[in-house]
Amino acid sequence: MKLVSTLTLAAVMTIGAATSVNAQGQSDDGVPGPDQDPYIWLEEARSDEALAWVTSENERTLSVLEADPRFETLKNEALAIYDSEDRIPFVNFRPDGLYNFWQDKENPKGLLRRTTIESYQGDEPEWETVLDVDALAAAEGKEWVYKGSTCLPPALNKCMIALSDGGEDATIMREFDTSTKSFVEGGFELPHKSQGGIQWIDANTLLVGRDFGEGTLTDSEYPFTSRVWVRGTDIANAPEVFRGQSDDVWAGASLMRDATGEVQLMTAFRGVSFHESEYFVSIDSDWIALDIPKKASPYGIVDGHILFSTDVDWEVDGQTFAADSLIAVELEAFKADPNGAAKTLVWAPQERQTKRGGAITAGALYVGLLDNVVGKVLKFNFEDGAWKSDEVALPDNATVGIAASSNESEQIMFTVTDFLNPTTLYYTDGSAPPQPIKNSPSYFDAAGMEVEQHEATSADGTKIPYFIVKPKGMEMNGETAVLMTGYGGFQVPRLPGYLGSTGKMWLERGGAYVLGNMRGGGEFGPGWHQTAIRENKQRTWDDFIAIGDDLVAKGFTSPEHLGIQGGSQGGLLVGTAFTQRPDLFGAAIVQIPLFDMLRYHVIGRGASWIGEYGDPRIPEQRAWIEGYSPYQLIKEGVDYPTPFLWASTADDRTHPAHARKGAARLKEQGHHYYYFEDMTGGHSGGVDNEQRAKLQALQYVYLMQQLMDTAQ
C-alpha cells in the first residue's frame, strides 16, 4: 500500500540456465537428465508433443468429472458467486476518484472504472469506465489479462498499464492517461513481454527494470539492471543507473517517495537469495552500501523518517532490535550519513505477534498485526520527539486487513472477516473511528456451523495450531468428510477468511474444513518461517501430517474421508503428504504445484527459491530435498489416494511441468489419478469467472466422489 517493495521491480523467471550433461544423460552437477527422467519433454510448456499429451489427459479427466450429475450444479453455484453484482467492489484512492477493477459475466476480462467517495458509500455507486479490457482484447485479437498500473504521483493520471496475453506473469506495458481514458499516442511503450516493472521519476522519465537483452538477466532469469528512460528516446540507449550481478536472484533500483509524492531517495537492492538482500542508497550519484542485515529492508517514509523492517535481530549502536521490529531513522540525518544516523524503535512484536501489511496516509503510518492469528491494526505518529501508537477501533477476534489508503488525506479502508461471516469494509476520513460502509453478501447458510481452534503435536514435539469449521454437535465418529488445506512457506500466513464458494459447495453438503498453520508460514513472524526452510523443510510436511493424524485421533474424520488441497508451495505440501503418508488421506488436490524438486531450479521460477528449499546441484543440499521430492517418491505397488493434479499452460511461475510429470509418473507406476490443465490462465488459474467456476466444480466433484460417495 504506498510502501516500498523490492519485489516491484523483480522479474518472473521462465526457464533456468542450462548445465552440461554427461554420457549417462545426467548433468555434471548430479541433476537428473534424460536417462534418469523420461518426462523432461513435458517441461516444454507449449511443444506440440506436450500439448497433445495435455489434450488427451484433459479429455480423460473431463469425461469422468463433467459427467457427474453434480458438476453443472456446482459450476453454477460457483459462477453465481464470482459474478455476483453485490460483492464488494474494492477500490484504490486516487485524486480523481476511487478506482476499481471489475469482472462479471458481461465483462469477463474486466473493466477499470472509477467513482467518487460519496457515490461509493451508496448502495448503487455510479461508475465511469476508464478502460474496457474486453473491448481492447477484441480490437487487438489478444487474450489480454489486466495486471495493474503504475502511476505518477501525486496526480496519478499518467500511468503505465501492464497487460498479459493469456495470464502469464510476464507483461507488456503501455502509457495510459486516465484523464482522457486512452492510451497515449506515441507514449512510453514496452512492447516485448518481460517480468519486472517501472517507476515514474517525473512526467517524462521512467526508471525501468526489465529484460533488456543479453547480459541483463540473472541466472534465475530475473532482471538485474535498471535504466533511466527519457521520453522520446530509444530505451536501448537509456543509461544504466544500477547493475547487480548475474548470480543474484534479482536486482534493481527503486524510488522512495514521501506522502506528497516527492522523490526523497533512490535506493537499490541485490537479492542475494530469495530471503536475503543487500541494499544501497544513491548519495550525490554514488551508491552507498547500507550496513543493515540481509534480512532487513526499507519499509517507507513517514513523518520525516525512513523506516526499516528486519526479519532478524539487528544489533547496532549498542542496541538490539528484535526480529520483526520497525526501526526509524530521521530522513535528513539519513541523507547526510546513511549508516551513521541514529536509529530508534517504532514497534517490536510481543510473543506470537507479527506485522502483516501496512499503509501510509498523508500524516500517519498504519500497520496490520497478527496477534495469535487474530488481526489488529495500529496507527503510528511521530509526536513530541517520540513514536506513539494507538489501536484502530475494529472488531475483535477477526481477520483484519488494510484495504486502501490515500496519500493526500487521512482516508483509509479496512476489511474485517472470518470463516463464517462475509467481509465487511470499514472507512474513515481520519476524523472518527472507522465505520462499516459495505458488506459482502452471504453465499452460504452458516447456521449450525462453528469454528474451533486446536493444536496438533508435530514429530519434534512442536505444537501446531489449526482451525476446523464444522457442523455444531458433529458426531465424533470419523465419518465426516474433511477438506484440509494450508501453505507453510515463504513466510506467508494463511488466515481465517470468509469461505464463500467452499461454504456453498462443501460445507452446505455436510463437509468440514480445516486450515493448518504450519511452520514455514508467516502466522507467528519470521522465526516461524525460518525454522522450517532448507535443511529443516521437512518440518513443514511433518506439521501438516501431524494435523491429519490429530483429526483422525480426535474422531473428526478418518483417512477414507480426509482430503487435502494446496496450490503452488501448497501443492508441494500436498504432494509430500500423500507420498509420505498415503495411508492417512482419501483424496489429494495438487494445484499448480512444485513436484519435481530435483529439477525445480531449472523449471519456471524455481532457481529463485533456492533460499527456501536448497540447491539440488549441491550434494549436501540435494540430500535434504530428495528425501521429500514427491516426483521421485512415487513408487509402484503403494496404495496412494487417487490424486487430482491440475496446472495452467500459461503459468510462468511454478510452470505446468511439475503437475504434468507427476501425472505421467503416476501413470507409469500403475496408479489411478486425474489430471487437468487450464490452457488459458496463469499461475492463479482461469482468466475469467466462467473458467474459475469450472475449475472449482471439477475439484468439488472429485472430492465428493473420493470422500463422500458410499461407493468409494
Known catalytic residues? 568, 683
Distance CA 1, CA 18 (A): 38
Virtual torsion, Cα 579, 581, 587, 589, nearest 10 deg? -40
> What distance lies between CA 207 and its chain's CA centroid?
25
Name residue 347's beta-bridge partners.
Answer: 326
Kindly report the three-state secondary structure assignment for every residue of 9-31. HCCCCCCCCCCCECCCCCECCCC
Q: Is-contact 450 461, C-beta < 8 A?
A: no
Q: At what angle are helices 657-668 and 569-580 packed, to 10 degrees?
A: 20
Distance CA 34, CA 43 (A): 12
Task: Give every CB contact of residue 386 below 8 A, 6+ residues apart in sequence.
Answer: none
**Spatial CA neighbour of 255 closest among 309, 301, 320:** 301
Virtual torsion, Cα 155, 157, 283, 299, nearest 10 deg? 80
**Spatial CA neighbour of 170 closest among 655, 693, 661, 567:** 655
Task: Give every CB contact of residue 646 below 8 A, 6+ residues apart in sequence.
Answer: 589, 590, 591, 592, 659, 675, 676, 677, 678, 695, 698, 699
Q: Is-contact 521 527, C-beta < 8 A?
A: no
**Spatial CA neighbour of 223 closest among 191, 188, 271, 276:** 271
Distance CA 598, CA 216 (A): 27
**Spatial CA neighbour of 196 closest among 232, 230, 172:** 172
Q: Is-contact 554 476, C-beta < 8 A?
A: yes
Distance CA 698, CA 62 (A): 8
**Spatial CA neighbour of 702 closest among 1, 74, 53:** 74
Cα angle 90, 166, 357; round to 5: 35
Return phi, psi of residue 616, to 5°: -70, -10
**Spatial CA neighbour of 166 closest among 287, 312, 45:** 45
Q: Which helix (H) or strand (E) holds 389?
A: strand 386-391
- Long-range Cβ contact pairs of 82-86 (< 8 A, separation 24 or more): 82/501, 82/689, 82/692, 82/693, 83/689, 84/441, 84/443, 86/440, 86/441
The amino acid that residue 252 corresponds to is G
Cα angle 286, 291, 295; round to 5: 120
